[in-house]
Structure 1
Amino acid sequence: MMLDKAKEVEDFIIKIRRQIHENPELSGEEYETQATILSELEKLDLEIEKVGNTSIIARLVGEKPGKTVALRADMDALPIIEQADIDFKSKNQGVMHACGHDAHASMLLGAAKILSTMKKDIKGEIRFFFQEGEENFSGAKKIIAAGGMEGVDGCFGMHGLPGMDAGYAHIESGYVLTGCDTIFVKFEGVSGHGSAPHLAKDTIHPACMFVTDIQSIVTKNVDPQEPIVVTVGKFNGGTKPNIISKFTDIEMSMRYFDPEARKTVHEAIIRHAKAIADAYEISVDVQIEESTLSLRNDEDMTELAEKTCEKVMGQGKNVPMKRIMASEDMSYYMQHAKGVYINMGYRNVDKGAVYFPHHEKFKIDEDYMKYGAAMFAQFALDFLDSDL
């Protein structure tokens, strides 16, 4: 049973996780993390390649021909001052593994350790992606650019969440994570003296009108059954109280599941901004930057992952959970091969493992990691043995 194999390497997984947790590194700067993982991968019978800034692609080629499956874990930390009640706090002040990527990477390393002993039984190839820069959505693109997804038939990833206790998972088909865009809106008018607004073209008032107006796009242009979140996070205009502001800049974040709803909102934001600018006789420029795409689980891959879950954790351990409006660059791998992305529970009230990712007191129940490692390994074997 795969869980039994995971229990055999559980102490190793926990040790590596704590080592990475104590030495967190920001996106694209995971050099020590990469070195830690490489030192362990080099003990296994794998083909290893360093790509991007700090990412790793490790290949395990079985002795029997077959398909190729990619398993992915992220490994970057966040700019947060840690306040978790643990003995292995961050030694890098102001940087913290507050999203559990240390656990993800350690679980994948544990899976590699398990699978490397099963080479003669493996049909095809298993690729292990240890990915930098998930938090800034840069890492997946680097692995793909390096050829990591060439020839891959299916991919699999996971994330720990406090919505379930350790030993439970949430697996469902369809859209499970949102895409994310950053939208920059710049109004330009004519500066002037505050005592003579009729001789200038103010931009602050029209920009305020735009901010209050854009929520009507969500309520009036988008199907109410389709979740969309548009957030204005930055508003900057003016230099002094008695100067009419020539420029006002707005920065917005948008989250979505359905690409068609995304397109509708993009078009409406541009349309509304231009209409307001025209009404006040000023100009406006709208720039939309893609952060990451929405993530949609393939139906057949989801069904396979559900069977894997039952093998590893038993019946009734795949539990329902509300969708969250979070984003992940795992979605880019799924543009190249069908895939599935699952959530694993790390909640344990008695241990204080209750916080959602990105909290300064973030903490996991480390018991969950043996399940994660077993899921990585078992899914790889199940996919390679399947007709998918």
Structure 2
Amino acid sequence: EGGKGQGIHSLRFRKGKNSGKTLSLHSYEIRPHLTITGNRKNLHGLDLNRNFPDYFRQNTLPSQPEKDAVIRWLEMYPFVLSAGLHGGAVVANYPFDNTLEDVTGRLKEPSLTPDNDVFVHLATVYSETHPTMHQGIQCQAGMPRFENGITNGAAWYPMTGGMQDYNYVWHGCMELTLELSCCKYPPPGELPDFWEENRNAMLVFMSQAQRGVRGLVMDSLTREAIPDAQLRIDNRAIGFNTSKRGEFWRILLPGNYTLQVFKEGYENQSLSFVVYTPMSNFQLSATWLTVNMTPTFSGVSEPSVLAHLLAKDAPVTPTVGAVKQAPISPQIMPNEAWIGSLLMESLAKLQRARSCTLAAVGRQLFQLSVLYMAVLHPLVELVPFGLFPDNSVLKDEIIYA
């Protein structure tokens, strides 16, 4: 990769500039080879691009350490867009690479993803920016001629265990396989020329990561990010997840969409949004969404956040029972400052509660306000309040009512 511009690694130093136009990317990763030898197969003689979990059928090949390392890498970094660079043809290949049908041969029926419009766009962007790929040139007699320089993987030849399908289905990362040379293994001296042929196409392809929709999924009460929430665009069966920071991204073409968001312990959310038409491939801007998830507050009957606070913090003698109009002396009455601090602390704890019904939250807030008023009224009612998950009555609790 030496010579002209030092090849693909020169993007590190030229990131952000292309013919006077800005290409803004948060980050990118370059992995030259999956094997330490740089060959198609590893030292065990297995093709790593047949070793990944497969969407259509079980992969029975022995799991390889190089593939496992790549999976860990993908789990660490939630990539939006990726490409595998191959040789042996000149074409942009898009998913699916496999199919439910056991077929062999070339140019059979395509196996299309729910995001086929996006994948065709990504492949076309690369092909049309490349000097010759879009011409669909036949590399040699007997080889297929690819219309517009793009092809569906399964329509070309089905394969099990490819990284392209795995990235898309398991990690929500849209990947193409870019075949860049009729020669499977071109001489090293020709690599600078291949780089010059593909540089602009690669930059335009990378910029597509900025189109579509992106945003954050947050807890509506605590404002904390929600990791691993499940997301799906309506009418697109393959979903994706939020990152550990609650972030999400999805490449989409201009249009109207609805985002569905799911997370255990929260109410499902549905948001409609619009992806607008960009002015150019270097002036892309994704629609931003903030998704506020509401806790379901299910699991425990009548919890007692307030009662726990009182039992722990109140400067009174806790009592269990029911005594109407029980006089209480000023010496054990909570003072106004303590009630105020309790109110603020309780509100914060209620926001973090995950085992309350909405009705219980409302009742506890009401009881807190009544507790505050108890400073002005010497008559209170002592009542048992709440249940543990095992339905035993909470001990040593007091509630002013």
TM over 0.5, shorter chain: no
TM-score under structure 2 normalisation? 0.32
Higher strand share: 1
Larger radius of gyration: 2
Compare relative contact order (CA 8 Å, sep 6+) and give the higher one, 1 or 2.
Answer: 1
